[in-house]
Amino acid sequence: MSVQYGKVISLILLERFGPVVEKVGAYLFKYGTTPLLYIKKSTNLPLSKVKESLCILIKYRLVTFQANRNENLANYTLQHDRILLMLRYPKYINLIKKKFGNECEMIVEEILQRSYWTASEVIMKVIERLKKDHNKVVTILSLREKFLTLLRAQYLGRLPYSQDDKPVPTLVITEIDHNTPPNIDPKQISLVQSNKATVESLPDNGIYWTINFDRFHQDMRDKLIVNAFTKRFDENGGEFVRLLLQQMYIRTTPWAEVSNPVPIVEIRDIVRKQATHQHLLAFFDQYVNVLEQDSTNLIRKAGDASGGSFQIYLKETFTQFAWETVEQIVLEKFDSKAARIFRLVKSKQYIEPDQIQQLAMIPAKEAKRISYQLLEENFLQVQELKKSSSNGPNKCFTLFYVDLEQIVRMILELCYKTLFNIMTRKNHERFVHKRIIDKKQRVDTIIMGMRAQGAAEEQLADIEEMITPPEREILQKIELTMKKLNSVELEIDETIFLIQMYLVYK
């Protein structure tokens, strides 16, 4: 929670919901939980507007409410972490696409766009879209199967609902609700599709489903771990860890710090059945050995029963990842010498400046400069030890050390700042070239309209020439910049995700 974070959140709200909602959101971010009239008073917006914004925010589950003590008034709280997740939507969609294919991707996309929806309506919408965009016809039954798959894999969850009739309802959800699949009636859906019945007549009307972000994060976390192990060892090592994580879920809660022991025989059986990684199967024991004996010690043997069982230490894994990330950042931000000093201080915990230059093999002056530069940028900390100076010369030792958590939080701040800067830059580019972008849009709409009317190619070319070559060049340049900024935005989100994972396990 910082000023920078607030700014990013404001920008996201502004980009997606407009200035009014942004004002309400920013106010809630700044002042925390507040009732309606306070928001109205401080934002100077008409009551209807405030109500509308709150409705939108509540619909997208960005604001939650709770009854005040007198039970007639609600207090509103901004769920700021959810807002930040909006930047990650493309990643969620991509993840589902890779794992379950196009139809599931569309289901998730539709639900993400609306925040929640009933199963039948999503299915209807997806059928319609598939028909329109891809000219593909799918049956309601097959889509229902897809929807239920997503549900079973817990990518979707039931939206909490109110049971009692109070002025400020409390939203509840039970375990049973999560696990009861919706009643999807293909017959009724086809009736609604052909406008013979109303939407209200669907059997699952009022039962809303929403995205379970936690499940997505779990997948992303696993992918991160597998990728890291693949990078450090090889593909087979990565595959082993993937299976280890997969087997872990059977026995362990997803966010436990240490997995329960997984028998090695199980993993071997899966590898044998899969028959995709022959090398892993052939040298299975060796791989287990190598992974276990690695100096980072993230996978450990838990016992010898049934051919040995292994545990993966997730908390330590992410601590290790966070360390490496910070080291890489030092490397890129400063240079390899700074990274060397940083790692030296890390490995020695507390170290004197003299020792740094000796062990890191860096000239005294440079070592001093770098270490104090790192200190200035808060990557290193200094601990001073003063000997009591009752008599004799005042002796003072300076020791360098690293405080990982503090650095990680600092980097997280920097990530938010970078995000803010990138979004501001995007808006700025758009603002500066507004005229050309608008013109391009106008031309595009005209061309589309004419094409629909069946205009000749010559006419179309004429209109297209309304954009002069220099303008076209600028447009290309803007497009390139935007593309870059967008991809960078996603990259930063990856760093944020990693850091958040570290902080979750912290």
- What 8-state DSSP symbol labels residue 202? S
- 368 counts as binding other proteins under rule CB under 8 A: no
Among 179, 306, 336, 406, binds other proteins (CB under 8 A): 336
CA distances to 30, 80, 96, 145, 493 from 93, in Å: 31, 21, 5, 19, 15
Residues whose CB is less than 8 angstroms from the CB of residue 332 and which lie 6 or more positions away in sequence, other chains included? none
- 210 counts as binding other proteins under rule CB under 8 A: no
- Taking contact as CB under 8 A, which single stretch among the options 55-63, 169-177, 306-314, 354-362 is the one that binds other proteins? 354-362
Give min distance, CB of 399 to other proteins, in A. 18
- 233 counts as binding other proteins under rule CB under 8 A: yes
- 222 counts as binding other proteins under rule CB under 8 A: no
Residue type present at position 82: R
Left if phi > 0, otherwise alpha if psi is -120 to 50, otherwise beta: which for 308? left
Residues whose CB is less than 8 angstroms from the CB of residue 45 and which lie 6 or more positions away in sequence, other chains included? 20, 23, 24, 39, 53
- Taking contact as CB under 8 A, which single stretch among the options 15-23, 117-125, 330-338, 433-441 is the one that binds other proteins? 330-338
User: Which SS3 state, helix, strand or coil, does residue 11 take?
Assistant: helix
Long-range contacts of 130-139 (CB under 8 A, 24+ apart): 130/103, 130/106, 134/102, 138/103, 139/186
- 329 counts as binding other proteins under rule CB under 8 A: yes
- 414 counts as binding other proteins under rule CB under 8 A: yes
Among 169, 375, 495, 503, binds other proteins (CB under 8 A): 495
Among 110, 421, 463, 478, binds other proteins (CB under 8 A): 421
- 477 counts as binding other proteins under rule CB under 8 A: no
- 324 counts as binding other proteins under rule CB under 8 A: yes
Among 86, 471, 494, 503, binds other proteins (CB under 8 A): 494
Count of C-beta atoms within a 10 Å radius of residue 226: 20
Segment 41 to 100, residues that bind other proteins, using CB under 8 A: none
- 312 counts as binding other proteins under rule CB under 8 A: no
Largest CA distance in the chain: 99
Pick from 290, 249, 254: which is nearest to 266 by CA?
249
- 359 counts as binding other proteins under rule CB under 8 A: yes
Segment 440 to 459, residues that bind other proteins, using CB under 8 A: none
Would you say how long the chain is, in residues? 506
- 380 counts as binding other proteins under rule CB under 8 A: no
For the chain, the distance separating the N- and C-terminal CA atoms, rounded to the nearest angstrom, is 17
- Taking contact as CB under 8 A, which single stretch among the options 21-29, 138-146, 187-195, 421-429 is the one that binds other proteins? 421-429
- 327 counts as binding other proteins under rule CB under 8 A: yes
CA distances to 77, 192, 427, 461 from 400, in Å: 42, 71, 42, 68
Among 364, 382, 385, 480, binds other proteins (CB under 8 A): 364
- 7 counts as binding other proteins under rule CB under 8 A: yes
Instruction: State which H helix or E strand residue 211 sits in.
Output: strand 208-211
* Residues in touch with other proteins (CB under 8 A): 7, 228-229, 231-234, 236-237, 282-283, 286-287, 289-290, 295-296, 320-321, 324-325, 327-329, 332-333, 336, 339-340, 343-344, 347, 359-364, 366, 411, 414-415, 417-418, 420-422, 424-425, 428, 488, 490-495, 498
